[in-house]
Amino acid sequence: VSVATEDIPVRMPSYECQRITALKHHNHRFTTALELLEEHAGYQGGGQRADSRARGFRRASCTLKSLSHPLTSIEQAGKLPNIGPHSLAVIKDILEDGYSQEVQDICDGDFYNTMQLFTGIFGIGCSTARKWYEKGFRTLDDIRNDSTITLRKDQKIGLELYQDLNTPVTLAEANIIQELVKAEVQRLQPGATVVLTGGFRRGKTEGHDVDLLISHPTEGKETGLLSAVLARLRRKNLLAYESTTANTYDPSTVTKKEYTLDHFERCFSIFKFDKSWISSKPTSQSPPGVVKPGTSNPDLPHQGDRVSLGTAGGSDGESTAEKAWVGRRVDLIIAPASQYAYALVGWTGSKYFNRSARLYAEREMNMKLTSHVLYDPVKNQYLSASSEEDVFRHLQLPYREPTERNC
């Protein structure tokens, strides 16, 4: 007996962390539109309200990503969890007309495009971008040439390296940076670990940055490691920017504070990625080892090939055209061994997976989940975990591979 897919009853749990969400799915034509609406809603002022509108679109999108077949009827969409009236109307338009006029209008508008341009500057958030938009600024040169704007150091470099930082980081580049940092870290502290987390760990082949989680199996041996590694990288002239934050974790505040951000020692940096470290062909897996500034790396093939930088945006490449390196955003995070499993879950993401897991922990398990620990306030117990599997087990969630956490 054959049954049309739209007639199969869909029983989908409402928390994203209870479901499998892969990068590839069957409903991209809806999710692209919904996530554009999410982005657009986030650009709007209005704090909490704008954020919750944005999240509504994202939750609807996540539901469709978890669906095991292409959505073909609005009736079925109506039975799925977390799809609000606005998202439903957009889905209906796409089902009926093949596109959404609302989405089309946003794409064609000045506001969305300008906000995308300005929030693409490292160090610029929505509120500054919106302020500039409202003042009538529309291009990067409008910002560069305005004498009334004072920029912070990070924002200045964000403008300077705009082209670099808006060219996606490839997996090959991320692996090279991971190996490079690992070599430095292990020279300083043998046995230390450096793991590529973030989107790349979830199976993405491109990202906006490289997220490296650094730890050591012996608690305490991670202390002092970050500043020592940064000193080495600095001496080798591999850093274009760095901003370090000390560890501010205090377990006694775990129930009080909003833990959407974590409290690990970390550095938000921009690496000078030497173009000779990579060729346009897929390269061997050999690590670059320690790379001396100004010399080519003996561990990698050095053809004359240069990394493709893309040419989008045209006029902004003036100073970046001649330099031998590409700016790449790198986040370095230090986690003590006892918090490592939670840090790994947190820094693997996605952001929405974390959000959902934390909400689930709070509402369904009466527990507080952070990137540091899982706390049970009823038993006044910090639940220790030595693997990601332990974290899921404590939460009574089926284990999900990183590639299944792409909500």
The CA distances from residue 296 to 267, 274, 305, in Å, are: 26, 9, 13
Report what 346 binds from ligand TTP, Mn ion, none; CB cut-off 5-8 Å by kind.
ligand TTP
> Which H or E run contains 198?
helix 198-201
Separation of alpha carbons 273 and 308, rounded Å: 13
The Cα-based distances of 364 to 282, 359, 373, 391 in angstroms read 46, 8, 17, 15
Residues of each annotated binding site for Mg(2+): 209, 211, 331
Active-site residue (options: 142, 299, 305, 331): 331
- C-alpha Rg value of the chain to the nearest Å: 23
Binding site for ligand TTP (CB under 6 A): 198-199, 204, 207-209, 211, 261-262, 346-347, 349-351, 354, 371
CA angle centred on 66, ends 60 and 69, rounded to 5°: 105
Question: Is 209 among the residues known to form the active site?
Answer: yes
Q: Is 211 a catalytic residue?
A: yes
Out of 93, 209, 274, 316, the active site residue is: 209
Place of tokens 């670059």: 288
DSSP state of 18: G
Instruction: For residue 102, state whether it binds Mn ion (rule: CB under 5 A).
Output: no
Q: Which is nearer to ligand TTP, 300 or 334 (CB)?
A: 334
Q: Which of residues 203-242 bind Mn ion (CB under 5 A)?
A: 207, 209, 211
262 binds Mn ion (CB under 5 A): no
Q: Kindly state the smallest distance separating residue 199's Cβ from ligand TTP, in Å.
A: 3
Q: How far apart are CA 407 and CA 386, in angstroms?
A: 24
CA distances from 303 to 157, 282, 298 (A): 30, 12, 12
- Options 331, 337, 338, 376; binder of Mn ion; rule CB under 5 A: 331
- Which one, 174 or 185, has the nearer CB to Mn ion? 174
Name the residue nearer to ligand TTP (CB basis): 59 or 93.
Answer: 59
Whether residue 331 lies in the annotated active site:
yes
Phi and psi at 73, nearest 5°, equal -140, 145
Query: Which of Mn ion, ligand TTP, none sits in contact with 274, Cβ below 5 to 8 A by type?
Result: none
**Closest-CA residue to 338 (of 213, 215, 194):** 215
Q: Which is nearer to ligand TTP, 208 or 236 (CB)?
A: 208
Closer Cβ to ligand TTP, 240 or 407, answer by number: 407
Nearest distance in Å: CB 210, ligand TTP: 8
What is the contact surface with Mn ion in residues (CB under 5 A)?
86, 198-199, 207, 209, 211, 331
By annotation, the residues acting in catalysis are: 209, 211, 331
